Every structure is written in structure tokens, then in C-alpha cells.
């Protein structure tokens, strides 16, 4: 069926990504959104938008009504939300709309990981030992991996190292799976500790043609979610690629797969064995790296297949060239177990001179809340070889001006620059084994350079705003008065800056360093400090100033001249490490607890997070109830 307008049943960066290809193909795009997204980038980029009411992005009936109302002839589900919901796909087709994706039957069969494994076994594709009966867990042997039967993305997934952890892990995984996929079924399989996560991109049409577009490695993960992906894998040989590709195509043909999809495998780094994991019946977050090395626009191919067109290339036509790496930029704190962060982006600006592709759905001023996944952007590099691709990606991340919300940007840079990553030693235990720095590494003494730039920026700003004697240099006096000073806070440390304007226009600081301003504009300042010169982008809000240095952004807090005494921190207080909803309280007032005991379970951005006791004690105060929404830093209980 030919269509010239599509509705995108998704949000954020993937909605923007689909809109981009739709525009290139001359197809009108319709977006749907909830109130939290009313100012989002994808809403502005779409040709038309429809606001959703209660139920939001999971309300299939509302979305179908929006498509009919706006005259959209097809629906693209993106990934997440309803993308692997076979009932929704059936409703779309029943209403006479085109479903951009595999058939509802294939979604149903492959969306159930248990059924998918059965089909893989029938196709003679190797699978890991597994069971859906917890009583048989001991037969498989520890460590084990619990997985949701109806979804992915790390939701409903738990590593179990010993039998005493099994019961609570199953309960937690089932609850998270029910919340994420409306299906609490789980299964248990063997956990391979030193492995690689390899997936094969497949593409099929309605005429039975199926090809694979090579592999992606997605082994570097935190909380069972990918953060760095690449194609090709540094470990997969041409022989292994052919074996995996053949297995993926064989399975896809068996189920008559149409559209884009992914067959995922677990690869044993020691033995070279691989096992089938699952089939994702949708576009993957990491699809750009495949596009970069093959030159094939996967969204475009999805739209063509949905129109009934036959693939224009065979397996022999597909060529792979160079190396592509993708990093997922998240609003999260790597130093706080990668827990999600909220806030407003006061800066979000890529460096146009850095050669990288940015797939994003946010911009400066975007409010990052708890309603959705905390991914802000995907940054993708391409180069003739892997080493250059890694360097280009790290440079693109470093040179971007981003702040207002804590992100994993600096952690990603440290991963990409590590010797282990450059050497291709990227098994699933990478983060625990390599332990890259989780925050910005500032060169020795460089913080004084940062605060000097911040101080000079503020004094220039104050002079510009001055209504009295604005023609005079800031700090000018005809007498000997004290130096100008300002105090910043960085990493819980106060740094006082004192400086005086010299007759030659330079500034002399109390530490003996000098600085000279060459130029300034509304976005930044060009100055030299102790012989080091660069143009620093600067962004400021009420109490913070973000300074961009050659190695990344540094956020400083501006300390007030006069501090109002605040409340003291309650001794023994259990503090919420992130904003979220209280979904379970494991203790009562008066309960004795031991260090490591789980006390509270919070849900944030559709994921569960256990808050544990840091030491032995007794719960003397309980300040929360189930279903309470708590802010970051809120006092949950007191353990004495």
C-alpha cells in the first residue's frame, strides 16, 4: 500500500530520527505527545501533532484515533512502548492502517522469549540452558540470570549469585516486568560472566527475501542496559559473522520475518561459542552504527517494506566498510550507581567542528523528569578504523557543551579512552573489571584555571549590566581597596578567587597567576590564564556557572555572600539517592536491620532500585508510605 503520511507512536530521539527520514522521502509526519513533552523537539519537528490524554504513549486506541483524525495512513512504533505489542499491531491493521514492522503473529511469537527459544531450537540454533520453573534453578547452576519473558531493555532482569537471593530476585523481576510489559512471566538461564553481547541486524520483505547487515557488539552495559555499541565487533571474525548471520537469516525465514529486526546472541569470549538469546521485532536503539558501516538507511527500508516493495539488494550486495561506535548519553550519576537524574538542561550544544552524528530529542531548556527513560542522545562516530572511530567519538563528547543535569558523558569518554577499549577487550564485565573513572578527570591545578574564567565572566557580565559608571572597568578605584573576590564550590570544596585589575588591562590573582581577556561574547570568553589560552563557552543560571574546558564541562556553584543557616542532616537518616516512587517498604518501625539489608524499593523511569542499610541498627522513624513520590535527598527513615 502506498502511503504519504505516517504517525509516529513514540517520542524523543527515535521520533526525531523517523521524522528525518520521512521528510527525506517526502512523507508527512504526525507526532503524538503528552503534556510532559509539549515543548519537546520531536513535537516541533513533526508536520502535525496530537496531544494524548490519560494512558499516554501506551494507549493504543488513542493513538489509532489520532492517526485516523489526522489522515495518517501508517503507524511507525519506534522502539519501546507499543513497538512489540502484537495486540496493538493487529488493531492498527484492523483499522485499515499500515503497520510499519513485522506481522502481529511474528511479534507475538518472538516477543515471548520462551516461544522464541523453542523456535530457535527447532531451527538448530544453539541456546543456553534455561527453565521457567524456579525449582529447577539449581540444575542449571549459579550464577543465574532472571529475565522477563515479554520484554527487554534491562527491565525484569536480575543476576543471582546464590540460592538465598533467588526468591527476592524473582519477586522483584516479576514486579518490574509487570510494570514494564504488563506481563510478569520470567525465566531463568545460565549466566555467562565473561561474554560478549552480539546482535545481527536482519531485514526482510513480504516476498520472503531476508538478509543480514552484519553484527553489532553491545557488551558494555550498566544495569543490564547498553551504553556503548559498535559495528563491526573487534572480536568477531568473518567466519563467526557468517555463522551468526546464517543462523539469524535461517530463523528469520522460518518465521517469515518482514521489516527490520535483530537476532541477539551471547558470545563466549573464551571458547568462541555463541547462543541465541532473543529476537527484537523492531528497530534497535543502536541501529545507527549499522547504517554507518553499510550505508543503508534502516528506517527508509522499513517504510519501503511496509509499502510492499521488494528489497533492492541481496546478501552478496551488502558491503561493510570502516568502523562505527555509538555512545548513549544518559541523565544519570555514574558515581551513584548510575541512578537517573532529573533537572533542566541549561546547556546542550554539540561542537559542529567535531565529526559525529547526534541523534537526540532534547535541547537547551529541556526538563528531564522521571516519567521516561533518561537517555538524552546517541552520539555516533565513523572512521576507516576502530581506533580513529573511538578517538572521534571521545572528542565529540568532550567538545560538547552540556550541563544542568548530571550525565554519564565523562564516564563514556573515560571508557572510550581506556587501553582495554582500544584493545577491543570489551566483554560484559568491562565496567566492573576496567573500572573507568566515573567523573571528569581535571588535570592537576587546572581547577584554578576554571574558576578564574568563571570569575572573569561574572565580572564582565556585572559590568555590562551596570547602570552606573558602566564605562569604567570592573573593580576600578583611585584608592587601595581590597581585591575583588568570589567563592565557588566544586565537588563539595569551596574555592575562593581573589583578583585585581592591572593598569595594562590584565588581571592578577592572589595565587600569583595572571589573565588577559582577548574577546568575549554572549556565549563565552576568550582569555589567557598563565599562558594557557582557549575560547571557553560559559552558561550561567541563578546559582551555577558551567565552564567548558578543552577536556569537558565543569559545573561550579556560586556561593552566596551571606549564608542562611539550614537544617542539620538527621543522624542515621536514610536518604533517597534519586527521585522516585516508593513501591515497597521491607521494614517496620522498631525493626532491627543489618548492613546490606534492603529497606526500601524505589521505582524511577520504569526501573526498580533497592535502597540498602549501610550499617547495623534499628529503624527508629519511618517517614514514608508505599506509593509516596519522593525527591532526591528526601529523608526516608532513621536507622539508629
**Residues designated as active site:** 282
Whole-number Å distance between alpha carbons of 206 and 89:
16
Burial track 91-129 (b if 16+ CB lie within 10 A, e otherwise): bbeeeebbbbbbbbebbbbbbbbeebbebbeebebebee
Side-chain half-sphere CA neighbours of 608 within 13 A: 25
The residues with which 125 forms a beta bridge, in sequence order, are: none
Side-chain half-sphere CA neighbours of 540 within 13 A: 20
3-state secondary structure string across 206-272: CCCCEEEEEEEEEEEEECCEEEEEEECCCCCCHHHHHHHHHHHHHHHHHCCCCEEEEEEEEEECCCC
CB 624 within 8 A of CB 585: yes
Whole-number Å distance between alpha carbons of 395 and 563:
39
Distances in whole angstroms, Cα of residue 189 to Cα of each of 130, 150, 162, 267, 311:
4, 15, 14, 15, 36
Q: Which of 353, 356, 436, 349 is closest to 392 using CA atoms?
A: 356
3-state secondary structure string across 120-136: HHHCCCCECCEECCHHH
Distances in whole angstroms, Cα of residue 79 to Cα of each of 119, 280, 373:
23, 10, 12
CB 621 within 8 A of CB 585: no
CB 407 within 8 A of CB 342: no
* 3-state class (DSSP) for residue 204: strand
Helix (H) or strand (E) holding 170: helix 166-181
Which three three-digit cell numbers place residue 627?
A: 506509593
Amino acid at each position: 500500500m502506498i502511503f504519504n503520511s505516517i504517525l509516529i507512536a513514540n517520542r524523543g530521539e527515535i521520533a526525531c530520527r523517523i521524522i528525518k527520514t520521512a521528510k527525506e522521502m517526502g512523507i508527512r509526519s504526525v507526532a503524538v505527545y503528552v503534556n510532559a513533552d509539549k515543548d519537546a523537539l520531536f513535537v516541533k519537528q513533526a508536520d502535525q501533532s496530537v496531544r494524548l490524554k490519560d494512558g499516554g504513549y501506551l494507549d493504543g486506541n488513542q493513538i489509532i484515533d489520532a492517526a485516523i483524525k489526522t489522515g495518517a495512513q501508517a503507524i511507525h512504533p519506534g522502539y519501546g512502548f507499543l513497538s512489540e505489542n502484537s495486540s496493538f499491531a493487529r488493531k492498527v491493521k484492523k483499522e485499515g492502517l499500515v503497520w510499519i514492522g513485522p506481522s502481529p503473529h511474528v511479534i507475538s511469537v518472538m516477543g515471548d522469549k520462551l516461544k522464541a527459544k523453542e523456535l530457535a531450537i527447532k531451527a538448530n540454533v544453539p541456546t543456553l540452558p534455561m527453565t521457567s520453573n524456579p525449582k529447577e534453578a539449581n540444575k542449571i547452576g549459579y550464577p543465574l540470570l532472571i529475565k522477563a519473558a515479554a520484554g527487554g531493555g534491562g527491565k525484569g532482569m536480575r543476576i543471582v549469585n546464590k540460592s538465598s537471593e533467588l526468591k527476592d530476585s524473582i519477586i522483584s523481576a516479576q514486579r518490574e516486568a509487570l510494570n514494564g510489559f504488563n506481563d510478569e512471566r520470567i525465566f531463568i538461564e545460565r549466566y555467562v560472566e565473561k561474554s560478549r553481547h552480539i546482535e545481527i541486524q536482519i531485514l526482510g520483505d513480504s516476498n520472503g527475501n531476508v538478509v543480514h547487515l552484519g553484527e553489532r557488539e553491545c557488551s558494555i552495559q550498566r544495569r543490564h542496559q547498553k551504553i556503548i555499541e559498535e559495528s563491526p565487533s573487534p572480536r568477531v571474525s568473518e567466519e563467526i559473522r557468517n555463522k551468526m548471520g546464517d543462523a539469524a537469516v535461517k530463523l528469520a525465514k522460518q518465521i517469515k520475518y518482514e521489516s527490520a529486526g535483530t537476532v541477539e546472541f551471547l558470545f563466549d569470549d573464551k571458547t568462541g561459542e555463541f547462543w541465541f538469546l532473543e529476537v527484537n521485532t523492531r528497530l534497535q536503539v543502536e541501529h545507527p552504527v549499522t547504517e554507518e558501516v553499510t550505508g543503508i538507511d534502516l528506517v527508509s527500508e522499513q517504510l519501503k517494506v511496509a509499502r510492499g516493495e521488494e528489497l533492492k539488494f541481496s546478501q552478496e550486495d551488502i558491503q561493510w566498510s570502516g568502523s562505527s561506535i555509538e555512545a548513549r548519553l544518559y541523565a544519570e550519576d555514574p558515581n551513584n550507581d548510575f541512578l537517573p537524574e532529573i533537572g533542566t538542561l541549561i546547556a546542550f550544544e554539540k561542537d559542529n567542528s567535531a565529526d559525529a552524528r547526534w541523534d537526540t530529542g532534547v535541547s537547551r531548556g529541556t526538563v528531564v523528569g522521571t516519567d521516561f527513560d533518561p537517555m538524552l542522545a546517541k552520539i555516533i562516530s565513523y572512521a576507516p578504523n576502530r581506533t580513529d572511530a573511538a578517538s572521534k567519538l571521545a572528542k565529540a563528547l568532550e567538545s560538547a557543551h552540556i550541563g544542568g543535569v548530571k550525565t554519564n558523558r565523562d564516564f563514556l569518554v573515560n571508557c572510550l579512552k581506556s587501553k582495554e577499549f582500544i584493545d577491543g577487550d570489551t566483554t560484559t564485565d568491562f565496567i566492573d573489571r576496567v573500572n573507568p573513572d566515573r567523573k571528569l578527570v581535571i588535570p592537576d591545578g587546572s581547577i584554578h584555571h576554571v574558576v578564574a574564567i568563571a570569575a572573569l565572566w561574572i565580572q564582565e557580565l556585572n559590568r555590562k549590566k551596570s547602570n552606573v559608571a558602566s564605562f569604567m572597568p570592573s573593580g576600578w578605584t583611585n584608592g587601595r581597596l581590597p581585591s575583588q573576590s568570589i567563592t565557588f564550590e566544586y565537588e563539595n570544596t569551596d574555592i575562593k578567587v581573589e583578583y585585581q585589575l592591572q593598569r595594562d588591562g590584565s588581571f592578577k590573582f592572589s595565587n600569583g597567576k595572571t589573565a588577559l581577556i582577548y574577546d568575549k561574547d554572549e556565549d563565552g570568553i576568550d582569555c589567557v590564564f598563565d599562558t594557557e589560552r582557549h575560547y571557553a563557552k560559559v552558561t550561567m543560571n541563578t546559582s551555577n556557572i558551567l565552564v567548558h574546558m578543552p577536556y569537558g564541562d565543569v559545573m561550579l556553584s556560586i556561593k552566596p555572600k551571606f549564608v542562611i543557616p539550614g537544617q542539620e542532616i538527621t543522624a542515621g537518616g536514610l536518604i533517597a539517592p534519586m527521585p522516585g516512587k516508593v513501591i515497597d517498604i521491607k521494614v517496620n518501625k522498631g525493626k532491627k536491620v543489618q548492613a546490606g539489608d534492603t529497606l526500601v524499593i524505589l521505582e524511577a523511569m520504569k526501573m526498580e532500585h533497592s535502597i540498602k542499610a549501610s550499617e547495623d541498627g534499628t529503624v527508629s522513624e519511618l517517614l514514608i508510605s508505599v506509593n509516596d513520590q519522593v525527591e532526591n535527598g528526601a529523608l526516608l527513615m532513621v536507622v539508629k
